[in-house]
Amino acid sequence: MPLTTRRCRTFSRRMLHSLLLCLVASTALAQPAKPSGLAQSASQVRLSNWQQLLHNGSELNEPAKLEAVNHLINGSIAYVSDQQAWGQNDYWATPEETLKLGQGDCEDFAIAKYFGLIKLGVAVERLRLTYVKALGRNSAHMVLAYYPSPNAQPLILDNLNSQVLPAAARRDLLPVYSFNAQGIYLAKAPTQKLRHPVTMLARWDELSARLSSDSNQQPLL
């Protein structure tokens, strides 16, 4: 066989091999990433632990409910931004979405605790999702506040500090405003209820729709 012919065939085989490798690589990149078996198993464990708490925790007294929910959510979720978790600048995840992923931002921590405690029988008027300024980080932050009575000092459930502490003990937090399904409250007038802003109503409605499809919970508003 002439040398030139052998070289052409060798070159052709190499080109074909390279094209096949490129095709395989591009096909692999086009496939959506699937969670590994280990990730799926961890997700199932988180959801199972959550459901067990909601099923068995209703007999606990309210301080014990606060501790149990705060401990489970803080121990199950890793902090990431909404952009990292959901590819959006601002997304309010349902508790089920947060626990499935095992990740969320401060809003997702607080929202999961809020709905978990409501599911355990804590009255809505005792719970407020509270925007604060985290002074040590110089950034906006959300926590859940629990009011034993309307004029009482609230207890704070937070992902930055896993202890359930009175607000006065959290000198690292500066409250701005709080809200729940009943209204919005300014930090300077915590007993004076205001109307929800339109933008917040839209987020509540969206979250409510996803909650209803997730677990048949009652609408938020």
Burial of 171 (0-12, 13-18, 19+ CB in 10 A): exposed
Average pLDDT, stretch 179-195?
A: 79
Domain ranges of the chain: 37-215
- pTM here is 0.77
Question: Sorting pLDDT into bands at 50, 70 and 90, what band is 195?
Answer: low
The CATH code of domain 37-215 reads 3.10.620.30
pLDDT in tens, 95-136: 999 999 999 999 999 999 999 999 999 999 999 999 999 999
CA gyration radius, the chain: 25
- pLDDT class for 32, splitting at 50, 70, 90? very low
Residue with tokens 């052998």: 6
Q: How far apart are CA 116 and CA 114, in angstroms?
A: 6
Task: Enter the tokens of residue 163.
Answer: 């202890």
pLDDT in the model for residue 209: 85
Backbone dihedral region for residue 138 (phi beyond 0: left; psi -120 to 50: alpha; all else: beta): left
144 pLDDT band (50/70/90 cuts)? very high
Residue 216 has pLDDT above 60, yes or no: no
Task: Tell me the CA distances in angstroms from 157 to 113, 116, 133, one per residue in order.
Answer: 8, 12, 15
pLDDT band at residue 48 using 50, 70 and 90 as cut-offs: very high
Task: Answer yes or no: are the C-beta atoms of 129 and 178 closer than 8 Å.
Answer: yes
Q: What is the mean pLDDT of residues 59-78?
A: 97
The whole-number pLDDT of residue 34 equals 53
Using one digit for the tens of pLDDT, what is the confidence trace for 75-101?
999 999 999 999 999 999 999 999 999
